[in-house]
Amino acid sequence: MTSTLPIRLPLDGNTASGSRSSQLPQFEGSAHAKAILFGEHAVVYGAPAIAVPIHELAAEARVDSAAEGVRIESELFSGDASAAPARLQPVVTAIHAALAYCGKSDESVRVQILSAIPHSRGLGSSAAVAAAIARGITNWAGVQLTTAGLYDIVQQAERVAHGNPSGLDARAVTSDGAIRFDFGAVSPVRIGAPLSFVLADSGIAGSTAEAVGAVRMRREQNPEGMETLLSRLASIAEGAIDDLALGDHEAIGARMRDAHEVLHAIGVSSDALDALVAAAHDAGAIGAKLTGGGLGGCIIALAHSAEHAEQLGCALREAGATRTWTATVPVA
Ligand code: MEV
């Protein structure tokens, strides 16, 4: 698969209405993917984390009135929400939470979901789909969606998807720029020079709930050792704030290398992820690490330029990545 993206969608939240496939007006909502640059897992225990938006990958929800009940149309399942499979329960939760937010729990809707974000790959697919649904349904209902309301709807869906999410994904998929997340508080991160990344898929699904559960268990078994490792992740994220502001790519890359080593030590990497990280370094990446929950999913590698990111993508596919995507984070 090439690094060209399948769809690019408008990302300004509650967007235009119009009629597409049905005669009823349709209302849209969208949200983008995210990649965690620093601080995954440690963020669950209150450490700072840094995430970047991946605008190149997006999810969209199209909403219109239905004859009866709540109808979902998606690649995985089409039918009444009450018959949706387990994997779609976060979607069902997001729909009901958004309808409740609008005071329209008893109304009938059809929600079409189109997503270019692969699920179980650490790219925020479940949070982005929930955010797109929240935006689409509030747009359909003509109800103003506040930042707090959006966060609350996405977190309700994320709890069903992952158990006890830190909230980082919910914030990252709804923020236009890079963010620092500190136990619920979000602030923008200054980016002193554009960042060109490649994301490479190991082809193996990673369960965030499983990875978070495994870290929790190790922390119970070995509190001191794990505390040392989690604090290292916290200081890597803390130190990266200045490097990002200065546009110091070498320092950012070095921190990515360190972060991957620590994530490996806490047990959330895998042979496939380690091999992709090594292949990225061999191909000249400034730094590379797993991103998100791990135990499968993707790595993120920092390139010297957008062109170099494309070259890294080729090298990573040759090294076994099933898919790659390039992404740029501009100066901010
Ligand atoms: C998942 O994208 C990030 C984790 O830190 C879990 C969380 O923040 O809830 C692994």
Look at ligand 1, atom 8, and give the residue with the nearest C-alpha. 166
> What's residue 23's pLDDT?
59
Q: Is the pLDDT of residue 64 over 70?
A: yes
Q: How far is CA 148 from CA 155, 161, 168, 184, 187, in A?
A: 10, 20, 14, 11, 15
Residue 21 Cα to ligand 1 midpoint, Å, equals 37
Confidence class of residue 37 from pLDDT cuts 50, 70 and 90? very high
Catalytic residues: 169
Say if strands 109-115 and 70-73 run parallel, antiparallel, or are unpaired: parallel
Q: Which atom of ligand 1 is nearest to the CA of 36?
A: 2
Residue 120 Cα to ligand 1 midpoint, Å, equals 12
- Contact indicator for 64, 71 with CB cutoff of 8 Å: no
Q: What amino acid is encoded at 244 in this protein?
A: L
Q: Alpha-carbon distance 98 to 133, whole Å? A: 7
Look at ligand 1, atom 2, and give the residue with the nearest C-alpha. 292
Of the candidates 86, 81, 55, the one whose C-alpha atom is nearest the C-alpha of residue 69 is 81
pLDDT per residue over 297-327, tens digit each? 999 999 999 999 999 999 999 999 999 999 9
Residues flanking ligand 1, CB < 6 Å: 36, 40-41, 43-44, 122, 165-166, 168-169, 208, 211-212, 292-293
Q: Is the pLDDT of residue 39 over 70?
A: yes
Q: Alpha-carbon distance 320 to 237, whole Å? A: 29
Residue 126 CA to chain centroid, in angstroms?
8
Q: What amino acid is encoded at 331 in this protein?
A: V
Q: Is the pLDDT of residue 61 over 90?
A: yes
Query: If you average pLDDT over every residue of the chain, what do you get?
Result: 93
Q: Which atom of ligand 1 is nearest to the CA of 212?
A: 10
Average pLDDT (41-65) is 97
Residue 169 Cα to ligand 1 midpoint, Å, equals 7
Q: Which atom of ligand 1 is nearest to the CA of 292?
A: 2
Residue 256 Cα to ligand 1 midpoint, Å, equals 17
Report the predicted TM-score, pTM, of the whole model to 2 decimal places. 0.92
